[in-house]
Copies of this chain bind each other. A is one copy, B any other.
Amino acid sequence: MEPSAIADRLHSASIHLLRRLRANDRASGIGPAQISALAVLVFGGPRSLGELAEAEQVRPPTMSRIVVGLERAGLVRRRETEDRRRVRLEPTAKGTRILHEGRKRRVESLTGALHSLNEGEVQQLGHLTELLEQIVRKL
């Protein structure tokens, strides 16, 4: 396949994948950017707003709003640091729980879709994900 066709279809497939998964995520009443940011804190550990913005590839004001939403929902907590300009963001117990529940729903819905694939293809998909992560880092 042509690289240009791969680029197009990967782009399109990603858009559609996220649109489908968003329907699941809406059940939790939390948006995709909030989930993604929360996941960084839960799986990657607490960090500052700027670090979180960088990890998520968005600008600080954007992350600032995402965090406000997460705080309002009681999923993330701010802690002071010795540098009083910085905040340390950490997930609350509720945030961790909500994230795992959302993950569970996602897995269930993906598992359903995986029924059309055999075991080898599932593993290939895992491999694709790694390739995709590698590409994203270089982009």
Contact = CB atoms under 8 A, between A and B. Distances in A.
Contacts of A9: 129-130, 133
A14 interface: yes
A39 B12 contact: yes
A13 B129 contact: yes
A39 B4 CA distance: 14
B17 A10 contact: yes
Contacts of A33: 15
A18 interface: yes
A26 interface: no
A126 B20 contact: no
A102 to B, nearest CB: 10
Contacts of A127: 1, 124, 128
A27 interface: no
A20 B136 contact: yes
A110 interface: yes
Interface string A19-60: 111000000000011001001000000000000000011100
A13 to B, nearest CB: 4
B4 A107 contact: yes
Interface string A108-139: 01111111110001111111111111111011
